[in-house]
Copies of this chain bind each other. A is one copy, B any other.
Amino acid sequence: MPLLVVGSVALDCVETPTAKRDDVLGGSAVFFSYAASFFSPVKMIGAVGEDWPGEHTTLLEKKGIDTSGLQTIPGGKTFRWRGRYLPNMNDRETLEVHLNVLGEFQPQLNGSHRDCRFLFLGNASPAVQLNVLEQAKAAELTVADTMDLWINIQRDELGELLRRIDGLVLNDSEAKLLAEDENLVRAGQKVLAMGPKFVVIKKGEHGAMFFSEHEMYVMPAYPTAQVLDPTGAGDSFAGGMMGHLAALGRFDAQALKEALAYGVVTASFTVEDFSLDRLEALSRHDLDRRLADYRRMLTF
């Protein structure tokens, strides 16, 4: 079942304690799409500038991702992010952000996009997310990401979004900020009370938590000895999760839990190398094998 994602497409500059990469392929829609494409057909909507290397589009298309919604803005420049990871490889600081074409981007869905029953709204302003939601008439499962910026400056619009989507995926620090509560269990419950049917709190190297009316659970991250670059882990998590749900064509409690586990496992590969490098070398079999290992770890 096709899955639609609207989000950022970026050129990232990443610094870690041991390495540095400039202008590598990144952005929420890119990591999400690539991760989800192991499970389900994916259609991507985003904007790039004239500096965008065509080979990146080729890479996505070779994976079967429908990039007809990837728009090149004449005279524009691609969104850029520069960040540095601390020695613990979990915390990071943003050194530079250049919105460029993302600043004015108003996503337009074509007919094939409008038919998608599964929709992921990557991090963007709640106003833009609401606009996409309005267009996606056939969407049966709508899940959004957000960030601290929107919680701080567009809380009302975010509140409106939360009343209209099925699921929200956000970081632990964002959940604490949104709920104004330092305890993650209470924070998750408070965000749930704002409207969505379920909430997923991403805890980076510590895994994820799930909240719905009837359920609350925690899943640890899959432990990996090689963490080269955590950029895109959260979007890969969401991609694995939504990809699995779209493949199943359902989103009951059992499907959601297995989807979270696939999200955890997909993200654990992403962090093992820069950009999409590790995912490019990956097969669906690798994902399933690690999922089986993860399931074994959690069985006692």
Contact = CB atoms under 8 A, between A and B. Distances in A.
Contacts of A219: 220, 298
**Residue among A185, A186, A225, A254 with the highest chain B CB neighbour number at 10 A:** A225
A177 to B, nearest CB: 13
A248 interface: no
Contacts of A300: 254, 257-258, 260-261, 295, 298
A256 to B, nearest CB: 9
B299 A184 contact: no
Nearest to A258: B300
Q: How many residues of A sit at the interface, in one of the four size bands?
A: 35 or more
A88 interface: yes
Interface stretch (A104-112, A147-155, A202-210): A202-210
Nearest to A206: B206
A223 B216 contact: yes
Cβ-closest 10 pairs across A and B: A217-B297, A298-B298, A185-B225, A257-B300, A206-B206, A220-B220, A218-B220, A185-B223, A218-B223, A186-B225
Interface of A: 87-89, 182-186, 189, 203, 206-207, 209, 216-227, 254, 257-258, 260-261, 295-300
Given A206-B206, A206-B207, A295-B300, 18 more contacts: A89-B183, A183-B225, A184-B223, A185-B223, A185-B225, A186-B225, A189-B225, A206-B220, A209-B223, A217-B297, A217-B298, A218-B223, A219-B220, A254-B300, A258-B300, A298-B298, A298-B299, A299-B299
